[in-house]
Structure 1
């Protein structure tokens, strides 16, 4: 998972730059000084936000000590160690005491939580009045393959995703309002990368498809699985590491909500 997160940031760096620039526009000339990264993983969101907001400090919260260790190493490598604080925390449990934040960021993490309503309530409590919460969720897992693979299995990738029935979408508006937020805006970011692609695209496709493949036994026929294994593991021209016909297609939706200066009366 850590590899997927880091490769995602490397390949989709223009998406991250677009999102953080949009958040800067929404800050109304008052850039955040204290940022919370909720379910930070390896820190790709933390680093993108600190690059966009050079006066900010970030607190990264995650349940995995390994992820936080990797984040800390990444912060040191980027010269950001004095601007990053890591906190080992299960966000489904009561949160530790935190300083009020100007911006809370949750990227592809809310759908992993057992109780998203609890997360939103705690985020509301932790933000200062007027602070922003930004939630990014992928509408569907990235797609990489042409329908015409040249391996005799057209439509393979569509069948992979149909078998897993992955759906990370949903309407967060009611839950945000119930937590006390006012909805500022919601925006889809359509990602459609064509040739020439970032150098890490093949490794990104391999890591993503390998993660999906781990859940597919018994859900697809043997020929599809064998073809997928060839795509993932082959070092020849049919493998994703060497294919020249890859693309990267996905959509991510970002909600931005505000903690009002005074909580609306119930």
Structure 2
């Protein structure tokens, strides 16, 4: 399981087939590089909110073994290592490139010895999670073909009294004001609507209420919390780079469905050299919502 289809999730199963091994390898390498970049930007911009979620978790005893399912490039892993300084984390992802990036970050932060990586896709394999006290699944479960099966597996793997934290986004982050850009107001919403029409059938669990599914898997849902995120652009322009990477991915998904006028306006926003490019806009912000479910194995 990995964070492939957007900054916060596992691979969507809609990649175009490639004609030979070399082409496929190049495609996968480029895709992993782009996804790693946007995951790193997401972690940078939303670090404070991620730390607040980790601090909120209703743990009864500090966990010694944590599993991060769909860890991507390690935003959750590193936040959990900081929150629980005596814990070890098993980081699970299907992307070898993302796991390598996570290890690089852990090494830079001096916590490499507390991280164990496992390359696995939960749709096709069942890795040994080795009785964790806490399992963290951020923007990953909704990409699974059968998340109910995975929830049951996590329930059975957890130590008695262990906690599962499910973190999901209400939707893709928004960056532009509603009346932007000036020549095509509402462009961002139309782009996301077009993307949803294309990908909605592939991700039926996105935006789901996970409470009933957690209960059906045998968990006791102890707490639920929704965080509203609104982060204005910073001097480092991380928000601008995050917006650019995000909208580039949206552009790839809506090329065939957006009107020519909207597509041209989007290209002007994505032009890093033009005066009207998104990197030069002073009115950017990251606006999104994240919901967290804390569920215990009783």
TM range (shorter): over 0.9
Q: After superposition, where does 1:97-136 map in structure 2 within 5 Å?
A: 97-136=128-167
C-alpha displacement of 1:198: 5.6
Structure-2 residue corresponding to 1:207: 245
Q: Does 1:245 align with 2:283?
A: yes
How far apart, in 2, do the equivalents of 1:137 and 1:150 lie?
29
CA distance in 2: counterparts of 1:237 and 1:191, whole angstroms? 28
On the 8 A contact 1:92/1:118 being kept in 2, the answer is: no
| Structure 1 residue corresponding to 2:228, chosen from 184, 187, 190 | 190
Q: Shift in Å at residue 197 of structure 1?
A: 6.5
Query: Counterpart of 1:128 in 2: which secondary structure?
Result: coil
Please give the residue correspondences for 1:216-231 in structure 2 after superposition, counting only pairs within 5 Å. Answer: 216-231=254-269
Deviation per residue, 1:175-234 (Å, 9 max, x gap): 111211111111111001235576311110001101111110221101101111111123
Report whether the alignment pairs 1:20 with 2:20.
no
Which of the two has greater helix per residue? 2
1:27-38 matched pairs, under 5 angstroms: 27-28=59-60, 30-38=61-69
Instruction: Indicate the RMSD between aligned Cα atoms, in angstroms.
Output: 1.5
Q: Find 2:175's aligned residue among 144, 150, 156.
A: 144
The verdict on how the C-alpha distance between 1:197 and 1:146 changes in structure 2, with shifts beyond 3 A counting, is: farther
Residue 294 (structure 2) pairs with residue 256 (structure 1) = yes
Give the deviation of 1:121 after TM superposition.
1.2
SS where residue 99 of structure 2 aligns? helix
**Post-superposition offset of 1:150:** 4.8
Please say if residues 268 and 274 of structure 2, whose CA atoms lie closer than 8 Å, have aligned partners that are also in contact: no
Runs of 4+ in 1 over 6 A off after TM superposition: none
State the distance in 1 between where 2:184 and 2:261 align. 8
Structure 2: how far apart are the matches of 1:233 and 1:77? Answer: 33
Q: Partners of 1:6 and 1:12 in 2: how far apart?
A: 10
C-alpha separation in 1, matches of 2:127 and 2:185? 50
Contact 2:181 2:187 in 1 (8 A): no
Matched, 1:93 2:131: no
1:102–1:132 CA contact under 8 A, matched in 2: yes
Residue 7 of structure 2 is matched in structure 1 by none
3-state SS, counterpart of residue 72 of structure 1: helix
Q: Which runs of 5+ in 2 are unaligned?
A: 1-34
C-alpha distance in structure 1 between counterparts of 2:235 and 2:218, whole Å = 42
How far did 1:103 drift? 0.5
